[in-house]
Structure formats: C-alpha cells, structure tokens
Structure 1
Amino acid sequence: MVKRAQTQSQTEIQPPSPPESTEMATVNVSKKSPNFSKIPFRARKVRKLSSKSPIGEVSVSVLDSSKSVAISISETPPLKLSTVLPKTLKPLTSKPEIELALDYLRSSDPLLATLIDSHPAPEFKSDSLPFQSLSRSIIYQQLASKAANSIYARFVTLCGGESLVHPDSVSSLSAQKLRQVGVSGRKASYLHDLAEKFSNGCLSDSSILAMDDESLLTMLTMVKGIGAWTVHMFMIFSLHRPDVLPVGDLGVRKGVQRLYGLKELPRPLEMEKLCEKWKPYRTVGAWYMWRLMDPPKPKAEEISSTS
C-alpha cells in the first residue's frame, strides 16, 4: 500500500484592507514528494464565514497541490447614518447644537419631523448655578406660576439677592422666616436639607455639572422633596442635558399619546420604547411634546372681535 507523504504548510494572511476594498492574497504552497508522483487534491468547496464577522467574508479554495491557494478577503462597508453624531454630546446651549438635534430627529422619526417643521426651534436659557436652580425648583413645586413667582421673589429678597442664594444663607433662615414669605414648613425642611448636603460636601455646583445623568438622578433624589420629575426638569431647563426623557411628566405623556395615536396614556416603560428612536436627543423630543399639547393661540382678528 502506498502511504501518502505528510505535508506541512504555513499560510500567512495579511490584515484586511480598509472598508469597501477587496484584496486578493496569493500564497504558494510547496509540497515535497521526491518518491511519489503528484497526487491531485479534490477541489474543496468554498468556505464562508458568517456575515456577522467583523472582517466580512473570507473564502478559501484549494484547486491542486501544485497550484496556489487563493484567499479572498472582503469587508462589508459599514451602514451610513443620515446624520453623523459627535462623540461627546454638548449641552443644548447653542444654535448649532440644537440644529444638529433637529436634523437627527427629523431623520429618525417622520411624525416628529412634521411637528418640528410646524413649530419654532427650542431655546434653553439659564444662568443660575445648580444650588440656586434647585432651590427655585423646590419652591415652585405644586404651585401655579403666578403664586410661585411671587413667593420666589420674596425668598430671593430674604436671602439678599439671587446671587446670595447659597447654602450658608439658606441655612441661616429659620422655618418661621421662610413661612413669612410664603414657603411652607415642609418646603422649608427641603431647602434646609438641600443646603446641608451642599455644606457637608455631599453635593456641590461643580460635582453636579460633572456628573452623568444616571449619577445625578441618584444623588439628587437623596435630597428631601426632590424626586425624579424635579431632577428631569432641572437637567432639561437648568443643565440643558440633551438626552432626558421625563417619563413621569403628564404633558410629555399626553404628547406621545397624541403623536402616535395611542388609546391610552403610555406608561414609563412604554414611553422608553416609543421614544427610543429619539436618542440621544430625547430632551428636544420632549420639548416638542409640550408644544404639541399647548393650547392653540387665538389669532389677532379673534382677539379684536372679543374685546
């Protein structure tokens, strides 16, 4: 019986070329068989790796022991997004950032695109420091705008001016003094707890600005009287974070219900799923939900006819 000679071959595959290019690498395989005639190899079927492989497809075919091994490596070009997002999202404080968000939302949600084109672009303006904004948020809770404005103005005067609304000045105000300007006893305890957490270093203006959204939600809800809704409003209107979805806000929930023609108000988990396509600009999407639910403004001729 004729024994087949044992052969060894080493094949080196060069790294794949950049996307959208195909390179053919040919490597000669030599076989030493001095005592035997050439033994033909059967042609092997082409083997392809899964298209999920990061290098695309690889096919290998061996036609004959005396011939070359042909290796073809091709890469599937990556999907092209209609809008290229920056690596790091910036706060929504400038027109270019807002325009980038609007372009992205138009391309990702046709229903939202129609709403965007029928309303002015959003503006997010706030010059207050985090402690001042959080103090204001506590005072404004569950109050009509007119009453809240009046109480907050008296609170600022009591502190000596808005620039003097800081942890030390708020801590020095007794609950009785705060009640005299309209702040309830419960809200006075919330303000004192906020001031204490700033004074002991648990929170600070700088640390709040540096925290990511998840950490911020965790840390701020440790303050008495501050819940998820208050944190979401703070992140949107004070910090101008781009990807905040206030799933507990009634106006945003009603807007999503109307936008998508839902029979019932969406629950938080459903809100997350429905608004997934808005990422990473869910703040802007939420802003348009409020606009969608705004009562229509009367026209000039309607005002004159009723006056």
Structure 2
Amino acid sequence: MNDSSFELPLPHPFDFRQCLDYMARSPLECLYTIEHAGVNRLMQVAGAKRLVRVTCPEAAVMKVQLLDGELLSSEVQVELSGFIKNWFDLDRDLEPFLQLSKGDPLLEPLAEAFAGLRVVGVPDLFEALCWAIAGQQVNLTFAYKLKQRLTEAYGDAAEREGVTYRVFPLPERFASVTVEELCSLQFTRNKARTILDVASLISSGELSRDRLLTLTDPDAVDKELTRIRGIGPWTAQYVRMRCLGDPTSLPVGDVGLQNAVKQLLGLNQKPTPLELQTLFEPWSGWESYITFYLWRTLY
C-alpha cells in the first residue's frame, strides 16, 4: 500500500466478481474497462480527471488506487470513497433481504445464484438521467451506442498504456449544444430536448442528487423528476434505483423485468404492471434488489 491508494472495508455479503460480471454485460460500455479482476475508470474527482483502479485483493477489502501515481489528498479520498460506496452500494445491510428470501420459491434461488451481488449504481445524476433517457423504448445495445456517442462527442478523455478512457460529459458542456447536434448522434428530437433540459437544470443547481435525497417520500421524487418534459415514471423509478439508492423502486413498466418474471414463472404472456405490483407486495422494501436480480437472469 502506498500513498496513491487506500482501502475500503467491505460488507457481508459482497462478491466483487458478481458485480464485475454484471458490469461486463456489454462490450460497448465506454465509461470503464474491466481487466485482471478489477475495473479502471476515469473520474472527475475534486475538480480534476483522475484514472482510478478498483480491486478486491482480499475478501473483506476493496482497494482504490490512482493509476497516475498521484498522492492522495484527503479531499480526493473522501470524494472517491463516497462515489465508490454509492457505485457498489457498500453501505447497504443485505441481511434483511437474505432473511426475506429464505424459503421463498422465487427469491431464494435468485439470492443463491447472485449471492453477494449489489445493485451497481450510477452515482452521477446527470449520467444516470442521460442513460435512462437513452434507454427509453430502445434495446440495450442501441442505448449503449447512444451513450458511447454522447461520451465521445462531449466527454473528456485520457490515455494510458494504449487504452483511451473517457469520463461522462459534465452538464455544463451542453450549454451551447443544439437539438440538431444531438439528433446527429441518432437521439430522437424528444430525447435530445430532454437531455438539454436536464443539463440546464443541473447546471443551474435547480436539480441535484443531494436535493433529491432530501425528499424522503418516493412519490415526491417521482413528481420532481416527471415534471421535466420527456421523463416519465419508468425513467424516474430507474433513477431512484440506480442513482439515489432507493431500495423500494419498482419499475413496473420495464420490459426486461416483465420478461424475466414471465420466464421464471413460466407465464404465457408478460405480467401487467398491476400483476407485478401484486407479485412484489410480500417483498416490500426490497423491490430494487429483486428487480436487479431478475434483470440479471436475462444476461
């Protein structure tokens, strides 16, 4: 251990390999690179770009290292720690979820198959919203292509050992970007307008992750997000799950969730949103985790 790295204690259960397997589900991912049982990511930390590597050299320890060899300041370490805890949901006590799953015919096999998997988050609100907007009514492959184009067109980059790393663009970068420019990347006009609106709201401070986290009522969060043109219930629920760490978020309109439940229960057709709500009633408080694990069965 040197002054360019630090360690984070890991909760139990936590399986880094399970998380990496989820993160490696698409070769089109442009914001991090998985190699040698770790993940490298270019991040905007304490006002500067820093290339970070995350590994788990021991079962109960996560190692965070600055790959450029820069000495860690306390400010950088605090900001990185917060980001990574949110990224891998490290502050979550999964014991109640494991107790809930015991004996449950649907949950117990899921909890065993993906033991130690955490909801892998998208801690940056702008990135989370753009990713959700890109994914509206398109398949996952095309959503990844849209994110890749947006990142390459407007995000910063750094190179190390022949690999180019990119950081998701800051919302301020879009102050002078036009709808037509985003449409040239194959965003629809509606999605382009929504991204520019969200960028403006976050840049002005009117919308922020910290402020959304002060809203203790999930309905209030949904209301705050869906007042933005182009953001509907599915997008709001997705952001609550992946960015805000809300374990109760249940995106009943999600096609992937519907397909996973159809397959696991052997249904003739996809469940309706109302049927999903009824199915999830006994699992109140863990809807996000169960949804995430169900998504996992699709890959």
| TM-score of the aligned structures, taking structure 1 as reference length | 0.56
CA positional deviation for 1:219:
0.9
Q: Distance in 2 between matches of 1:151 and 1:267?
A: 29
Q: Distance in 2 between matches of 1:116 and 1:164?
A: 32
| Larger RCO of the pair (alpha carbons < 8 Å, separation 6+) | 2
CA positional deviation for 1:158:
3.0
The aligned residue for residue 246 of structure 1 is: 251
Structure 1 or 2: larger strand share? 2
Kindly provide the amino acid, as one letter, of the partner of residue 140 in structure 1: G
Out of 138, 148, 168, which is 2:172 matched to?
A: 168
The aligned residue for residue 18 of structure 1 is: none
CA positional deviation for 1:271:
2.0
Does residue 150 of structure 1 match 2:145? Answer: yes
Is the Cα–Cα contact under 8 Å of residues 236 and 242 in structure 1 kept in the other structure?
Answer: yes
More moved, 221-230 vs 254-263:
254-263
The aligned residue for residue 42 of structure 1 is: none
Does residue 190 of structure 1 match 2:183? Answer: no
What does residue range 42-53 of structure 1 map to in structure 2 within 5 Å? Answer: none
| CA 1:246–1:104: 2 relative to 1, 3 Å | farther
Is the Cα–Cα contact under 8 Å of residues 190 and 225 in structure 1 kept in the other structure?
Answer: yes
The aligned residue for residue 133 of structure 2 is: 138
Kindly provide the amino acid, as one letter, of the partner of residue 183 in structure 1: F
Kindly provide the amino acid, as one letter, of the partner of residue 183 in structure 2: R
CA positional deviation for 1:243:
1.6
Give the root-mean-square deviation of aligned CA atoms. Answer: 3.1
CA positional deviation for 1:106:
1.6
Q: How many residues align?
A: 205
Identity fraction in percent: 27
What does residue range 274-293 of structure 1 map to in structure 2 within 5 Å? Answer: 274-292=279-297
What does residue range 111-126 of structure 1 map to in structure 2 within 5 Å? Answer: 111-126=106-121
Does residue 216 of structure 1 match 2:224? Answer: no
What does residue range 12-91 of structure 1 map to in structure 2 within 5 Å? Answer: none
CA positional deviation for 1:164:
6.8
More moved, 283-292 vs 141-150:
141-150
SS of the residue corresponding to residue 191 of structure 1 reads helix
| CA 1:101–1:290: 2 relative to 1, 3 Å | farther
The aligned residue for residue 68 of structure 2 is: none
| TM-score of the aligned structures, taking structure 2 as reference length | 0.58
Is the Cα–Cα contact under 8 Å of residues 101 and 281 in structure 1 kept in the other structure?
Answer: no
CA positional deviation for 1:207:
0.8
Is the Cα–Cα contact under 8 Å of residues 91 and 242 in structure 1 kept in the other structure?
Answer: no
Out of 165, 185, 188, which is 1:181 matched to?
A: 185
Q: Which runs of 5+ in 1 are unaligned?
A: 1-89, 296-307
The aligned residue for residue 230 of structure 2 is: 225
Kindly provide the amino acid, as one letter, of the partner of residue 251 in structure 2: P
CA positional deviation for 1:264:
4.8
| CA 1:235–1:199: 2 relative to 1, 3 Å | same
- Which of 1 and 2 has greater Rg? 1
Kindly provide the amino acid, as one letter, of the partner of residue 171 in structure 1: A
